[in-house]
Amino acid sequence: MNHEAFQQQLVKFPTNVSAVLQSLTQQQGRLDPEQVLTLQELLQLSTEGLLKVLLPLAGAMSTCPVSNFSVGAIVEGYREHGPGPFYLGANLETLGQPLKMSIHAEQAAICNAWHQNETRLRCLMVNEAPCGHCRQFINELNEVGQMDILVSQLHSEQQRHYRITNLLPDAFGPENLHQATRLMSTTSQSLASPDPTDELVNAATEAARRSYAPYSGCYSGVSLRLKNGTVITGRYAENAAFNPGLTAIEAALVSLRLNSLGEPHSKIIDAVLVEKQAPVSHLAMASSILGHHGAQLRHYTV
């Protein structure tokens, strides 16, 4: 994960703008509403115009050793009045893993907002049209029918507006499986920590409680301890079509990338997966991914 690419993109902005954007490194790739308004005033841009200007910065977060193709995405949290917070994301790929392990930019931005307690999105902007995988993932979101999806290629002035019904007609979604709750809804599972004396186990359990797994019931969370003492977590996000979901370890990798925008990320020295007993398990995938980081995984079933 190259933090330098993000910093190099950051300094391309005017100094007063860059000073505001530097907060992204301390806020896990988030801009608060007041920061959004400040940037709009400094750059004399609409909300959509600001999203467009920030897309290259989101793309600079990309880790793409397989495709060598960077994609950036930004989502805006829903607020009834005024702009919502912006959350950045980019595609993340892992060498030695199947292509299924690729985290798409739209997934990363949505995961970022979800981890920071957003329950609904006003819009999503991405620099390439969402693939079918991402359209299916987006379709799982809370209040998705009201969300704007904007496609704005970096080297083009053209901007296209969509609703999910345009991108995914005749969709198969939660309602087809009689599921009323959607991804990003405020729900929590009653899961007891398997070791209340262990901080990392408790963090993974809390992530599992707030995960979204209505189809398999495999509510799961991952926690990572870095050498510098930081604890990173990730929650499982399931999908009605099953495959386009985001596992807890993938979500944790998104959080790890967002934690390293200002400096190289610290080494992972401990990792925990907590998951509810179910017909599926994420143990093999999480262990494989963490093996690439030289970390052992502790696994608990509740």
| Active-site annotation holds for 140 | no
Classify burial at 284, counting beta carbons within 10 Å of its beta carbon; exposed 0-12, middle 13-18, buried 19 or more: exposed
- In angstroms, the CA 147 to CA 121 distance is 6
Output the six-digit token pair for 129: 């049209």
Q: How far apart are CA 237 and CA 214, in angstroms?
A: 9
Domain ranges of the chain: 3-15+24-177, 199-301
Name the catalytic one among 93, 106, 128, 275.
Answer: 106
Summarised one tens digit per residue, pLDDT across range 95-113 is: 888 888 899 999 999 999 9
What's this model's pTM, rounded to 2 decimal places?
Answer: 0.95
Is the C-alpha dihedral spanning 183, 212, 172, 69 positive or negative? positive
SS3 205: helix
Q: Is it true that domain 3-15+24-177 has CATH number 3.40.140.10?
A: yes
Residue with tokens 């595609």: 91
Using a 10 angstrom Cβ sphere, with 0-12 exposed, 13-18 middle and 19 or more buried, the burial of residue 100 is exposed
Q: Which of 171, 178, 154, 196 is nearest to 55 (CA)?
A: 154
Q: For 6-62, write each residue's pLDDT tens digit.
A: 889 999 999 999 999 999 999 999 999 999 999 999 999 999 999 999 999 999 999
> How confident is the model over 142-184, as pLDDT tens digits?
999 999 999 988 777 788 999 999 999 999 999 999 999 999 9
CATH number of the 199-301 domain? 3.40.140.10
Identify the residue whose tokens are 């009323």: 180
Q: Do the first three CATH levels of 3-15+24-177 and 199-301 match, i.e. the same topology?
A: yes
Q: Residue 2's pLDDT is what? A: 62
